[in-house]
Every structure is written in C-alpha cells, then in structure tokens.
Amino acid sequence: MSLLRIEDVTLAFSGVRALDGVSLAVDAASLVAVIGPNGAGKTTLFNCISSIYRPSAGRVVFDGRDVATLTPHDAAHLGIARTFQNLALFENLSVLDNLLVGRHHLVRTRFWQDLMFGRAAVRSEVAQRRHVEEIIDFLDLERYRRTPAQVLPYGVRKRVELGRALAMEPRLLLLDEPAAGLNQEETEDMARYVLDLKEELGITLILIEHHLGFVLDLADRVVVLNFGRKIADTTPEEVQRDPQVIAAYLGASTPVRAEAVS
C-alpha cells in the first residue's frame, strides 16, 4: 500500500513550470530515488512533499492527508523529515545538541514545567537524550558527541545532518544528495547507513542523488525528472537503458553507466 501519493503536481514560478504534472506513488518501507539533470525539479518536489511549497495544481497525499494544506511543522508532526542539500547545522552546538534539536516537536512538557525543571521536565529530558544516544550509536558518532559542528570533517557533518532528521522519528525521510561531496569511503559508509534505515528501522525513503552508482545500489525504484516532467519510473536495471533518460543525461544513444553521473 502506498504511504505517499503524488497526483499530477504542478508548480510554476513566474510562468516557468518547475514541476509539470508529476505523479508517483511510494510504498511503505521502500526506497525510491529521484534523479535528473540540474534544474529538473527534484528539490522542488521535496519542498512540496515537506509542505514548504504549495503546488499550483495536484495533490501530495501522505497516509491519507493532503500535506499541501499543512504547514511544515504540521508535516513534521505527521512523520515527514528531510535533510538538505546544503548543510543546515547549528555551527556552535555540539553533535548531541544538534540532534536534540530534531526532538523539539516531540517534547510534550509545558513551558512552565521546563522553566521550573520539575519531574516532568526531567523525565522528558532523559527520554530525549536516550533517543539521541541511540542515534549517535547507530551512526557511529560517539567520538564526536561533544564536538561543535563547525569543527567537524565534512563527512561527519553529513552524518549529523542525517542524525538530526532521524531524531524526528520520521515515517518518511527525504534525503537530498546525502553522498554529495563525500569521498569513496564516506560514500560507502553513507550507503550502509541509508540501507540500514530501510531494512532495520523500516523507514520509507525518497532519495535525490547525482551519484548514479549510489542510486543503483540502493533504490527499489528510480524516478527520473527532466524540465519538471517525469520521464521514467522503473527499476534501477531498466532506467540505465531507457532512451529518454539517456538523452536527458548524455544526449546520446549509449546506455547510462553508473559513473556517468557520479
């Protein structure tokens, strides 16, 4: 059964259609990759799913709710979380505190309970920290837990960004280029973490990535956008032979190789 349905979504900016009648369905506990050339509309699609943008037409339905009518924090409460192409960490906060930020919408205490730091606030603080410590262990961040984000290596910062989204307890996690800027070893580590999110935690994932080898190794399905339109929605094996995909990426008739868009 589909956890997310995108139905004929169109979004235009000053007459330019960033998305043009895009439809797709994402099953629970699956990993769907969205690929395409720069400017194809991939991040715009993520912004519609996470309620940052409202489509000009069409619907984005998550677990029976039309998220186009919601605010971004309402979407977060439903269980939609995301990472960003450009890292958005709090530079002066430690890894631990950056992850705790992802728990903010899950805190149930009243402001006066937090102000007095009574029993309810203490219990809540312990519960949030326990969950964050599990994420630190899951992403192998123990040695960095007290380190400010601004001094971390880039590959570790990408893991912290992933951890903060994971701290939101998402049912649907949107990953915007998680392997961008990583070296080979870091890319392999990130692939392992992403696969564990699906297989061990059962989280539904949508992935934007230009590293095609990363996509083909992980995705159950690959959706291809070009100039705001969906031109393919198929298996990783078939997408490499699709003539429209080949033309969009290479302008040629040769099969797309995994390294062609790395």
Tell me the per-residue pLDDT of 221-236, one tens digit each, with 9 for 90 and over.
999 999 999 999 999 9
Residue with tokens 């530079």: 91
- pLDDT exceeding 90 applies to what percent of the chain? 80
Cβ atoms of 255 and 212 within 8 Å: the answer is: no
pLDDT attached to residue 261: 44
DSSP secondary structure code for residue 256 in this structure:
P
What pTM does this model have?
0.91
Q: Is the pLDDT of residue 142 over 90?
A: yes
DSSP secondary structure code for residue 255 in this structure:
P
Distance, in Å, from the CA atom of 183 to the CA atom of 174, rounded to the nearest integer, reads 22
pLDDT attached to residue 123: 73
Q: Is the pLDDT of residue 175 over 90?
A: yes
Cβ atoms of 58 and 8 within 8 Å: the answer is: yes
pLDDT attached to residue 24: 97
Least confident of 55-69, 96-110, 171-185: 96-110
Average pLDDT over residues 154-176: 97
Cβ atoms of 30 and 204 within 8 Å: the answer is: yes
What domains can you pick out in the chain, each with its CATH number? 2-79+170-261 (3.40.50.300)
Please indicate whether residue 232 or residue 14 has the higher confidence score (pLDDT): 232
- From residue 2, give the alpha-carbon distance in Å to each of 24, 26, 64, 220, 261: 10, 5, 10, 14, 29
Q: Is the pLDDT of residue 32 over 80?
A: yes
Distance, in Å, from the CA atom of 60 to the CA atom of 63, rounded to the nearest integer, reads 10
In this predicted model, what pLDDT tens digit does every residue of 93-140 receive, in sequence order? 999 999 999 998 877 656 556 555 667 666 777 788 999 999 999 999
Cβ atoms of 33 and 209 within 8 Å: the answer is: yes
Q: pLDDT tier at 1 (50, 70, 90 boundaries)?
A: confident
Strand order in the sheet with 16-27: 16-27, 2-13, 57-62, 65-66
Cβ atoms of 18 and 44 within 8 Å: the answer is: yes
pLDDT attached to residue 194: 98
pLDDT attached to residue 107: 72
Please indicate whether residue 37 or residue 249 has the higher confidence score (pLDDT): 37
Distance, in Å, from the CA atom of 137 to the CA atom of 140, rounded to the nearest integer, reads 5
pLDDT attached to residue 69: 87
Q: pLDDT tier at 262 (50, 70, 90 boundaries)?
A: very low
Q: Is the pLDDT of residue 153 over 90?
A: yes
